[in-house]
Chain A
Amino acid sequence: MYNSSDLRKGLKIEIDGEPWEVTEFDFCKPGKGQALYRCKLKNMLRGGTMDKTFRANDRIDKPHLNQRDFMFSYVDGDNYVFNDNDTYEDVFVTKEILGDQTYFLHDNMECQILLYNNKPIDITLPIFVEKAITRTEPGVRGDTATNVTKAAALDNGFELQVPLFVNEGDVIKIDTRTGEYAERASKA
Chain B
Amino acid sequence: MNTRNVPAKRDILAVRSRLLRLIRRFFYERNAIEVETPVRVRAPALEEYIDAEPSGDAYLRTSPELHMKRLMAAGHGHIFQIGPCFRKGESGRLHHPEFTMLEWYRAGADYRDILDETRSLVRSVARGLLGGCAFEYGGTPVDLDADWQVITVADAFAEYAKADVASALRSDRFHALLVEKIEPRLGIGRPSVLIDYPIELAALARSKPAHPTVAERWELYIAGVELANAFSELTDAGEQRRRFADCAAFRRKTGNAAYPLDESFMQALSDGMPNTAGCALGVDRLMMVLTGADDIGDVVAFRE
Q: CB within 8 A of A35: which of B89, B180, B226, B255? A: B89
Interface residues in A42-75 (C-beta closer than 8 Å to B):
53, 55-57
CB pair B219 A31 closer than 8 Å: yes
Report B157-193 CB contacts with A as 1/0, cut-off 8 Å: 0000000000000000011101110010000000000
Among residues of B, the one whose C-beta sits closest to the C-beta of A53 is: B176
Chain A residues near B131: list those with CB within 8 A: none
Interface stretch (choices B18-26, B45-53, B265-273): B45-53
Q: Is B31 an interface residue (CB 8 A)?
A: no
CB pair A30 B89 closer than 8 Å: no
Chain B residues near A5: list those with CB within 8 A: 89
A53 to B49, CA, bound (A): 17
Among residues of A, the one whose C-beta sits closest to the C-beta of B87 is: A29
Binding site for A on B (CB under 8 A): 47-50, 89-95, 174-176, 178-180, 183, 201-202, 219, 226, 229, 254-255
A-B contact pairs, 30 of them (CB 8 A): A5-B89, A26-B92, A26-B93, A27-B90, A27-B92, A28-B94, A28-B179, A29-B92, A29-B95, A30-B178, A30-B179, A30-B226, A31-B219, A31-B229, A32-B47, A32-B48, A32-B49, A32-B201, A32-B202, A33-B178, A33-B201, A34-B49, A34-B175, A34-B176, A35-B89, A36-B176, A38-B179, A38-B180, A55-B176, A57-B254
Closest 5 A-B residue pairs measured CB to CB?
A27-B92, A33-B175, A34-B175, A30-B178, A28-B179
Query: Given A28-B94, A38-B180, list of 16 further CB < 8 A pairs?
Result: A5-B89, A26-B92, A26-B93, A27-B92, A27-B93, A29-B90, A29-B92, A30-B183, A31-B219, A33-B49, A33-B174, A33-B178, A35-B49, A36-B175, A36-B176, A38-B179
